Amino acid sequence: MPENDATHTPAPEPGNDEAAESNAPWMSPALSWAVTGVAAVVAVGALAVVVAQLLVLRPAVADIEDETQARGAVVRAAERFTVEVNNYDASDVGTLKERVGPLLTTRFRTDFEKSIDDLLVQIEEAKLTSEGEVLKSAVASVDADSATVLVVADASTESVFDRRARHFRWEIELDKVDGEWLVDNFTPVA
């Protein structure tokens, strides 16, 4: 075959990628630029979607985190109250008011202290001891400054009269006071 034959395409030299690319019949330079342009537009569009979702979803994620933290805080406060009220010994019953008082709102502390004095006398006379534990708890509702928690607890009591297992199901209402969740009331439920 003669060297000046127009149909003859010389084989690309090894390591000469430019020659291999220019000889690719399926990708013209114009098509290559078009594909690159479309890929760039798709990448910029995807980035814009991700940024928009972050801007829209980030506040929602922060709200969910805040609510999760609030739920945890109200459950801890309700459970601590339940444990403190149900764990006492007749020999140190005087500390019950000291342990429970700081867990209560001012309004509820006043009501609690009025009613607890008679109970403390009965506890001392009966030499009553109680060991309680929280079995389950769940948030019924929570907002920025109030919450309701349902608590299931058991207590084993011993007195000069007998031994008993007691079962409690309480609805505990809490208020947020100076950033701290305090018990504002509790009600036995069935």
DSSP state of 6: T
DSSP state of 18: H
- Residue 190 pLDDT greater than 80, yes or no: no
Q: Coil, strand, or helix at residue 186? A: strand
Domain boundaries, the chain: 70-188
- Give pLDDT, residue 26: 64
- Gap between the Cα atoms of 26 and 41, Å rounded: 22
Q: What's the pLDDT band for 20 if we cut at 50, 70, 90?
A: very low
- Residue 55 pLDDT greater than 70, yes or no: yes
- 163-177 β-sheet, strand order: 88-89, 129-142, 146-158, 163-177, 180-188
- In terms of CATH, what superfamily is 70-188? VirB8 protein (3.10.450.230)
**In terms of residues, how long is the chain?**
190
- Residue 6 pLDDT greater than 70, yes or no: no
In percent, the amount of the chain with pLDDT more than 90 equals: 48
In percent, the amount of the chain with pLDDT more than 70 equals: 82
